[in-house]
Amino acid sequence: MSRLEVDVAVTRGSFTLDVSVTVGSGEVVAVLGSNGAGKSTFLGALAGLHAPDRGAITLDGRELGGVPVHRRRVGLLSQQALLFPHLTARDNVAFGPRSSGAGRRAARETADRWLAMVDATALADRRPAELSGGQAQRIAIARALACEPELLLLDEPFAALDVDVTPAVRSLLRRVVRATGVTTLMVTHDVLDAVVLADRLVVLDAGRVVESGPTAEVLRRPRSAFAARIAGLDLVPGRSCPEGLRTTDGTVVGGMHPETLDDGEAAVALFAPAAVSVFREPPKGSPRTTVPVRLAAMEPHGELVRLRAGVPDGGPGWVEGLAADVTPAAVAQLGVEPGDEVWFAVKAAEVEVHPAGR
């Protein structure tokens, strides 16, 4: 178990990155930012590709600056699987253990164990050229973890995959990262990657940290305008159930499962604020999930008005911070103002349930 402390400044041309991040032992932290926010530069500094102008990277008390890459014990999984083309899947996975001194036989046994872990036992004897993108990325996951790194770096690990295989590979990565308890730092531009994988979120803009905190909190209550723009999602934590998701107080939020989830597995329901309808009275006979809220705030949001929810008397606590985007005409028709009790409703077809949290 290893704790990572990073405090670096890197200048590349006119761009300056100045970031300080701590990842607790066994924690998964996502660094979220749009293109040009400095994500790659940050990862490059961690992986040892760009020498930082100033600062320190300590992993489990070891200072990493000046340590050659092959002695850092930092695994890297990037967009491209980059499997060695001349080796079979098994030999690719066995490469790390072999390099750190394991015998041929022991390394192959380790490799087989990891291949089983990523459901790729059947692919063991294939060459990378005979693997699909999703299969190759699964082998790359096994290969990165087979050397038992103290820190795992994920560089947009799903960005190059087909959209239809991304959910499966993402859940698999979540499962093995949780199972091994490896300290993990991921950079991504996709909010969903952060929701599924990360305990904590660090939002990067123009080379600086603009916000950080537990994933669900940052996404639900972004304090910076930038975080709000890239997050901007309604998020309800709970556990997976056949209809969608069940919150701690027993409310069922109807939704779809883009990836397979076990019943009772920790999950979040995600939906866009624009998918939420607002009513004065509980809508009758509607197939939607409805929940009473106290209107906490109303603010303009582009051409729409964003209504912020607060907890009503005796209502469930998870509605705090939920957003609904409605037209100004609808607001006028409803005749509501902050402090009023209203009902938020969302259709099951607009809700996606993803694995998340512990």
Partner 1 sequence: MRTTVPRFLWAPAALAWLLVAIPVAGLVVRVDWPNFLGLVTSPSALAALWLSLKTGLATMVLCLVLGGPLAVVLARSSLPGLAFVRSVVLLPLVLPPVVGGLTLLFLFGRTGPVGGWLDREFGVTVPFSTTAVVLAQTFVAMPFLVVSLEGALRTAGQRYEAVAATLGASPFTTLWRVTVPVVLPGLLSGSVLAFARALGEFGATITFAGSLEGTTRTLPLLIYLQSQDDLDGAVAMSLVLVVVAIGVIVVSRTRDLR
Can you say how many angstroms the Cα of residue 239 is from the centroid of all Cα atoms in its chain?
A: 17
Q: Does 76 participate in binding partner 1 (rule CB under 8 A)?
A: yes
Q: Which of 351, 345, 169 is nearest to 255 (CA)?
A: 351
Report the residue number, 111 or 196, with the smaller CB distance to partner 1: 111
| Of residues 76 and 346, the one with the C-beta less far from partner 1 | 76
Which residues have C-beta within 8 Å of that of residue 233, sequence separation ≥ 6? 191, 219, 270, 271, 272, 273
- DSSP string spanning 142-196? HHHHHT--SEEEEESTTTTS-TTTHHHHHHHHHHHHHHHT-EEEEEES-HHHHHH
352-355 β-sheet, strand order = 252-254, 244-246, 234-241, 266-271, 352-355
Radius of gyration of the chain (CA): 23
Contacts of 213 (CB under 8 A, 6+ apart): 200, 201
The site map against partner 1 for 86-125 (x = CB under 8 A) is xx-------xx-xxx-------------------------
Sketch the per residue contact string, 125 through 144, with partner 1: x for CB under 8 A, - otherwise. ------------------xx
Q: Which of 9, 67, 82, 304 binds partner 1 (CB under 8 A)?
A: 82
Q: Is 64 in the site for partner 1 (CB under 8 A)?
A: no
| # residues contacting partner 1 (CB under 8 A) | 26
What does the per-residue mask of binding to partner 1 show for 9-48, with x meaning CB under 8 A?
--------------------------------------x-
Name the one residue in this structure whose structure tokens are 């340590």: 67
Contact with partner 1 (CB under 8 A): which of 13, 66, 85, 285?
A: 85
Window of 67-75, 208-216, 248-256, 334-342 that interacts with partner 1 by CB under 8 A: 67-75
Is the CB of 95 or the CB of 343 nearer to partner 1? 95
Among 3, 12, 73, 178, binds partner 1 (CB under 8 A): 73
Put residue 313 in one of left, alpha, beta given phi > 0 → left and psi -120 to 50 → alpha.
beta
Residue 244 as a binder of partner 1 (CB under 8 A): the answer is no
Please give the residue ranges that form the binding site for partner 1 (CB under 8 A).
Answer: 47, 49, 68-76, 80, 82, 84-87, 95-96, 98-100, 143-144, 147, 149
